[in-house]
Amino acid sequence: MATLALNESAGGATLALAGRLDAYSVGALWREARAALGAHPGAPVTVDCSGVDYCDGAGVGLLLELLRQPRAAGADVRIEGLAERFRRLLDQFDPKSFAAAAPAAPRVSLVERVGIAGERIWTDLRGLVAFLGEATAALFHALRHPRMLRWRDILYVAEEAGVNALPIVLLIGFLMGVILAFQSAIAMKQFGAEIFVANLLSLSILRELGPLMTAILLAGRSGAAFAAEIGTMKVNQEIDALTTMGLDPVKFLVVTRVLAATAMTVPLVVFSDLIGLVGGALVMLTFEIPIATYYKQAMSFATLGDFTGGLAKAAVFGVLIAGIGCLRGLQTETGASAVGIAATSAVVSGIILIVFVDGVFAVVYYYLGI
């Protein structure tokens, strides 16, 4: 442990430090030593270190703190009696070069921050458009030259993002059908109109909820995975390695993922639609509507157009999820937190895009009369 004693005399003051000056003991002395120094602003102060038997970086820090204080002329702080081996540690620093007060971080005004944020969104949008063009070109090139595609990679991604996602898609689709049927049946029962739950379910699941829920699930699952994987590749300079081999990362990484994810989104939505309707049918059984009745009612109301329209949306969602996941991955900056940021951003922008495009589809389908 370290101790501090203050002796005042006519010629000034002596601050006697003793004991072991290290990171664990210096904290207790710091303020006291500063106060002792501050109490003698006009007189020279001698810091007597002859009793110090150990002084490491933290102890040197304390001595520097005392030495760096701005003092009046003739009121210098002197260190005395410090053992030679510690003296050398202290002498490698110039105390006056440590500014007495830490510089305050520059303040950024609100206007400036709004500007910075706006600029960031603008650059992001431009990046999105540029990437869209690049990816589209690469995709068309790939479709014209299917033999140049890396089919093994595509199948691998299809398994990861498609087959392995089936259980969760089935579970969510089933529960969605059950919940939707149950909630609407309770309300419809008041009018004796439970049978129309079949209409509601078939239309809403086939047109909207099936594709939308599956897409949101995939955005959370595969979009984040693509961003994290490509982001880590970028951090590890694997993207640079591809580029210097003359392999375009967009062709090599993005096209495979976009093709696989798009191809898998459509069948996943088919499964989700079916299991949702099955869930609804089971609920309707408890409301004493036989499955055959439910089936006929649903089939007579929903059209093939509702179903295929939903699947067309699903394909577009697949492109969006994979595309945005890859883009965020490629935009990853360096560091561990950057990968997390990329994955988060992939999910957030994926979901926003899905909902936005879903709205566009609603308008287009309305005018096309689908």
Partner 1 sequence: MTPAAPQDAVIRVENLKTGFGDFIVHENVSFEVRRGEVFAILGGSGCGKTVLLKHMIGLYRPLAGRVLIAGEDIAAAEGERRLAILRRLGVMYQLGALFGNMTLAENIRLPLEEYTDLPDEAMDLIAETKLRLVNLGGAGHLTPSEISGGMMKRAAIARALALDPEIVFLDEPAGGLDPITSAELDELVLRLSDSLGITFVVITHELPSIFAIADRCIMLDKRVRGIIAEGRPADLRDHSPDPRVRQFFNRAASAPAAAA
| 93 contacts partner 1 (rule: CB under 8 A) | yes
CA dist 215 and 354 (Å) reads: 7
Q: Which residue, 22 or 124, has its beta carbon nearer to partner 1?
A: 22
Judged by CB under 8 A, the stretch of 18-26, 199-207, 221-229, 360-368 that binds partner 1 is 18-26
| 336 contacts partner 1 (rule: CB under 8 A) | yes
CB of 343 to partner 1, least distance (A): 15
CB of 138 to partner 1, least distance (A): 29
CA dist 283 and 291 (Å) reads: 10
Residue closest to 302 by CA, chosen among 290, 310, 292 = 310
| 333 contacts partner 1 (rule: CB under 8 A) | yes
Residue closest to 148 by CA, chosen among 263, 259, 298 = 259
CB of 54 to partner 1, least distance (A): 9
Q: Which residue, 58 or 128, has its beta carbon nearer to partner 1?
A: 58
DSSP state of 250: I
Q: Which residue, 332 or 349, has its beta carbon nearer to partner 1?
A: 332
| 335 contacts partner 1 (rule: CB under 8 A) | yes
Residue closest to 196 by CA, chosen among 123, 289, 308 = 289
| 81 contacts partner 1 (rule: CB under 8 A) | no
| 76 contacts partner 1 (rule: CB under 8 A) | no
Count each helix (H run) and each strand (E run) in the chain, helices first: 15, 4
Residues 27-56 within binding reach of partner 1 (CB under 8 A): 27-28, 30-31, 56
Q: Which residue, 9 or 337, has its beta carbon nearer to partner 1?
A: 337
- Quick one: the chain helix, strand, coil %, rounded to 5? 75, 10, 20
Residue closest to 329 by CA, chosen among 252, 249, 229 = 229
| 237 contacts partner 1 (rule: CB under 8 A) | no
Amino acid (one-letter) located at 166: L
The first and second tokens of residue 366, run together, are 């309305």
| 24 contacts partner 1 (rule: CB under 8 A) | yes
CA dist 96 and 23 (Å) reads: 22
The first and second tokens of residue 229, run together, are 């994987």
Q: Which residue, 47 or 268, has its beta carbon nearer to partner 1?
A: 47
The first and second tokens of residue 100, run together, are 């007495």
| 104 contacts partner 1 (rule: CB under 8 A) | no
Q: Which residue ranges make up the site for partner 1 (CB under 8 A)?
A: 22-24, 26-28, 30-31, 56-58, 60-62, 64-65, 85-86, 88-89, 92-93, 97-98, 102, 333-338
